[in-house]
């Protein structure tokens, strides 16, 4: 894939977006297009939750989603039992295909919701890996690996992860912000083809591609398949 094709792909979809901070004043068009891309909306606020209900037969659990919360119950002789009620903190995923809500455990860790929203059916269903009688329910931590692929580099003092942003492909912008011209920030167009691909393969690991083995051999923190979430 050449860089222009990358660029065309990166900017291929269109849905309402989020802000674009530091680069906005000088690159407004790029920021605007980026904010419509799935990657530019990879983390969403809890307010974007679509209300819904899902009954999971195999684990006999009812899930109700709405008003920034996820509530689970079971039924025994018509009575609700085993009620769990969680406040959603943020969502992982733009919803172009799916998103999964995240809440906090009592110990303060981020936990993945057992149910996710899927665009294909425009409805709630079990999160990947949860469609079984003995699933983890409200106990599956959001790992640093999820966030490595789904958010911007962490910023000191930020309460929540932020949407993937420019730094993830252009590197640290400090020199460019002091000297705003060509040559003071990484432009992937200037890289060799394999280095261009490496930028995307940080997160887009394709099991079928030869690059996968090469990438894994070299990179330890991301030994995860996209399909594993
Ligand atoms: C004060 C204005 C300003 C700001 C702020 C700014 N840029 Fe730029 N940027 C420029 C100018 C001017 C150029 C050169 C454009 C040209 O020559 O056509 C440029 C070029 C670039 C290039 C191409 C570099 C090359 O060598 O080909 C990239 C990539 C880039 N900017 C990314 C960013 C990112 C990411 C941010 C935010 C972190 C940012 N810029 C913020 C003014 C700015
Ligand atoms: C920081 C990790 C990361 C990097 C680096 C990255 N991607 Fe992505 N990409 C993602 C994630 C996560 C999604 C799914 C975002 C969503 O819809 O929530 C995605 C989605 C996409 C999509 C679908 C966009 C849409 O609107 O649905 C395309 C196309 C894409 N990436 C291409 C690329 C290309 C080309 C590169 C390299 C130039 C690249 N990505 C680099 C993580 C990344
Ligand atoms: C190696 C990087 C990587 C890891 C680790 C990873 N993901 Fe993903 N995830 C992606 C990419 C890339 C996509 C987009 C795939 C596509 O469009 O083909 C994606 C897609 C998604 C989507 C659907 C977004 C959309 O609308 O397209 C959700 C939700 C999601 N991942 C959640 C998670 C969760 C939760 C974890 C951790 C348990 C996780 N991911 C771990 C890279 C990763
Ligand atoms: C997923 C990776 C990725 C992300 C994230 C990304 N870019 Fe880029 N950017 C690229 C690639 C690849 C190119 C080279 C495209 C080409 O010329 O073929 C590029 C080129 C550019 C250029 C130079 C365009 C020119 O005239 O040569 C600017 C400016 C730029 N990006 C700004 C931004 C800003 C601002 C953001 C954040 C809003 C951003 N980019 C986020 C991958 C990315």
103-162 pLDDT, tens digit each: 999 999 999 999 999 999 999 999 999 999 999 999 999 999 999 999 998 877 788 999
User: Which residue ranges have their beta carbon within 6 Å of ligand 2?
Assistant: 6, 9-10, 12-13, 37-39, 42, 93-94, 96, 149-150, 164, 168-169, 199-200, 202-204
Across 15-26, average pLDDT: 64
Cα 182 to ligand 1 centre (Å): 7
Total-model pTM:
0.89
Q: Are 127 and 113 in contact (CB under 8 A)?
A: yes
Q: How far is the CA of 220 from the centre of ligand 2 (A)?
A: 20
Task: Look at 219 and 110; give whichever has higher pLDDT.
Answer: 110
Angle of the 193-201 helix axis to the 210-218 helix axis, nearest 10: 70
Q: Report which secondary-structure segment, H or E, holds 118.
A: strand 115-118
Rounded distance between C-alpha atoms, residue 12 and residue 135, angstroms: 36
User: At 72, is the pLDDT very low, low, confident or very high (cuts 50, 70, 90)?
Assistant: very high
Delimit the domains of the chain by residue range: 3-42+152-228, 44-148
């Amino acid at each position: 894939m050449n860089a222009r094709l990358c660029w065309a792909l990166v900017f291929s979809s269109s849905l309402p977006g989020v802000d674009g901070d530091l680069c906005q004043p000088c690159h407004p068009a790029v920021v605007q297009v980026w904010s419509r891309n799935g990657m530019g909306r990879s983390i969403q606020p809890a307010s974007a939750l679509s209300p819904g209900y899902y009954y999971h037969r195999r684990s006999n659990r009812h899930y109700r989603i709405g008003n920034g919360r996820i509530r689970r119950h079971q039924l025994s002789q018509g009575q609700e039992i085993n009620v769990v009620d969680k406040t959603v903190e943020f969502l992982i995923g733009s919803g172009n295909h799916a998103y999964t809500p995240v809440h906090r455990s009592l110990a303060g860790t981020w936990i993945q919701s057992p149910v996710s929203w899927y665009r294909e059916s425009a409805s709630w269903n079990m999160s990947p890996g949860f469609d079984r009688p003995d699933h983890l329910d409200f106990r599956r931590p959001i790992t640093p690996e999820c966030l490595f692929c789904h958010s911007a580099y962490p910023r000191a003092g930020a309460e929540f992860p932020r949407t993937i942003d420019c730094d993830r492909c252009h590197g640290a912008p400090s020199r460019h912000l002091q000297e705003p011209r060509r040559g003071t920030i990484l432009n992937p167009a200037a890289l060799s083809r394999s280095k261009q691909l490496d930028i995307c393969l940080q997160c887009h690991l394709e099991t079928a591609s030869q690059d996968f083995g090469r990438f894994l051999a070299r990179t330890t923190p991301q030994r995860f398949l996209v399909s594993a979430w």
